[in-house]
Amino acid sequence: MSKKVLVPIANGTEEIEAVCIIDTLRRTGAEVTVASVEKTLQVTASRGTKLVADAFIADCADTIYDCIAIPGGMPGAEHLRDCEILTALLHAQREAGRLYGAICAAPVVVLQHHGLLAGRAATCHPSFVSQLENPVHVGKRVVVDGPANSRCITSRGPGTAFEFALALIEALYGEEKAREIGTQMLVK
């Protein structure tokens, strides 16, 4: 069964994280929508790579997603944080008990900023650890918190992007599918 996943991007998004999330989830058959929060579909990522979104975030406002996965990178995470449509989608996601997650700077800059880590254990990039309100699991590469029907998944940065994407797959499709995709990609 195909799942709908939203991956928002902005100028300054960390390209390894964005592309890893998008590619890995598409390998499962997930319907991944890459949405720009900028005024153009093409964004310039944190290291100068040009990424082209499938849609503008406004086009996604009325869609229900099984997962919203937020890449980090600076100042990309700040642009994502400041997007009112994305913020509304994330709050709706949590209130409905659907999966959401973030990696690198985004757990602090986006999720925590909007109260979406309240009561959750999380991790983030080491340069943002001092800002994390619940720093219990900061050393873990990926933190999965919440009941099966309301998970929040966070991760540390570009070097943990595959693990993050596979954790999203496991939450959406189960452990066997995550293992299958990880094996195909020589990650597991």
Q: What is the pTM of this model?
A: 0.96
* Residue 149, pLDDT above cutoff 90: no
Segment 144-167 mean pLDDT:
92
Query: Is 20 designated active site?
Result: no
Alpha-carbon distance of 110 to 70, in angstroms, equals 8
Q: Structural domain boundaries of the chain?
A: 4-183
* CATH pick for 4-183 out of 3.40.50.800, 3.40.50.1220, 3.40.50.880, 3.40.718.10: 3.40.50.880
**DSSP tag of 73:** -
161 neighbors 155 (Cβ within 8 angstroms): yes
Q: What is the pLDDT of residues 81-102, one digit of tens each?
A: 999 999 999 999 999 999 999 9
Question: Tell me: the pLDDT tens digits for 28-58?
Answer: 999 999 999 999 999 999 999 999 999 999 9
Catalytic pick from 20, 60, 67, 104? 104
Q: Which two tokens stand for residue 145?
A: 């918190």
Confidence of residue 137 (pLDDT cuts 50, 70, 90): confident
